[in-house]
Structure 1
Amino acid sequence: MSRTVVVLRPEPGNAATMARLAREGLAGRALPLFAVHALPWKARAADHDALILTSANAVRFGGEGLATLRTLPVYAVGMRTAEAASMAGFWIAHVGRTGKEALVAAAEARGVRRALHLAGREHGLTVNGPISTVAICYASDPVDVPAPAIDALAGQVALVHSPRAAERLAALVDAYRLARDRVAIAAISDAAGAAAGGGWRTVAVARRPTDADLVAAVHRLAD
């Protein structure tokens, strides 16, 4: 593929995806649409029987409070989240492969009844079923993106890691009057692809909601 792949996710995930693109022989450009920062939070391990993680950022930005939760088995949404939790000293009880809802269902099937969901402010999961508490430990806020950076998307492929990123990409492209049909999209899920709306040059969706599968989807986009 001759087109540049533009990575929209915030750091530190952006650098990880850029490295993956390089290993795949794909040209990449970093254009984070959001920046992540930690938020204060409190939770007691004694009140819970498991820890549900749907993003590695919950571990990266969880801070000192993570140490009090290491007695809890972790249900992680994917390998990258599981690896981050394992490196932080957690025991991984289950690694999901097909998204947040399937992960919660797996936890419930294994007898989890009082899970703590440590998450970002835009986490997408609520207190329901096996989740008894949601603790918000980080936020992802929009950053300024100049018009020339959006104009440079013309003829390129934008990597969309979440529905929220898809919505912001669409808003920026429309605000700066770049025709959508000049930009191709690779989306991490059907939900992310749908959130971008229509009119794009082409949209490829990852077979599974992982960074590796998202990059693989780029190869299916014809020049």
Structure 2
Amino acid sequence: MSSAEPLPLVVIRPEPGNSATCAAAREMGLEPVSAPLFEIEAVDWDAPDEHFDAILAGSANVFRHGGAGLAHFSDVPVIAVGETTAAAARSAGFVVSRVGEGGLQPVVMTLPPGNYIRIAGEDRVKLSPPEDVRIVTVVTYASRKRAVPAALQTALNRGAVVLLHSGEAARHFAQECERLGISKKSLHLASLAPRIAELAGNGWGTVAVAAGRTDKEVLELGARMCQTV
């Protein structure tokens, strides 16, 4: 593939992140293919009636879809997995005490002894806290999978670079390609983190991992791959 014919960039993350990533891609001069393969839905949940030292938040969806139950913890500081999650927490009226990098597990290993609540989605990374750290987990949202539409299938069969923002996206996309008989060899994956790349499995044309855990960095990686793979 010559530089005059770059591969298309496919964005499969759910909204509102999909639109944000595609807008950023257009600012870079790309024409992304927007194809959300997930829809985020709120689920019913009960707020535990106890004191917590902090909220552990691994996604901005915690604050987008947490609903009225979040009011029970309005005075509890938030420990966010990254800056996007932190921004969503602040927009919802929470005070952010810490912003991590590289996932929640490294953050958990450095927590002082205490009682923490993890507000999360159905699909989440298992955490292994130190003995003196107690974590109560509540689920407030779920990602509902969508099938690959016909138009996207056609684009994928021609070859593309696909951005993967989550482990769930990696698994679902791989399963859809196998179900539809789409050749993995013609597809190149730009992954937000090593775990995401691992969950995508084998057989792809290229699998690369962004230098950092931000949408900007994985988008920049994908843009380079469109020109070079």
TM-score scaled by structure 2? 0.89
Report the count of equivalent residues. 220
1:95-106 alignment runs, 5 A limit: 95-106=99-110
Q: Distance in 2 between matches of 1:68 and 1:38?
A: 17
Match 2:153 to one of 140, 150, 153: 150
**Counterpart of 1:159 in 2: which secondary structure?**
strand
How far is the alpha carbon of 1:198 from its aligned partner?
1.7
Q: Does the CA contact (< 8 Å) of 2:108 and 2:129 recur in 1?
A: no
1:20 aligns with 2:21: no
1:73 and 2:83 are equivalent in the alignment = no
- Which residue in the other structure is 1:136 paired with? 139
The question of whether the paired residues in 1 share the 8 Å contact of 2:105 and 2:128 is answered with no
Residue identity matched to 2:124? H
Distance in 2 (alpha carbons) for counterparts of 1:77 and 1:26: 28
Q: In structure 2, what residue type is equivalent to 1:118?
A: I
Structure-1-length-normalised TM-score: 0.91
Alignment of 1:137-216 (within 5 A): 137-153=140-156, 154-216=158-220
Aligned-residue sequence identity (percent) comes to 35
Checking the alignment, whether the CA contact within 8 Å between 1:33 and 1:142 is kept in structure 2 is: yes
- Bigger shift: 13-22 or 135-144? 13-22
- Unaligned runs of 5+ residues in structure 2 are none
1:220 Cα shift?
3.4
Aligned Cα RMSD in Å? 1.8
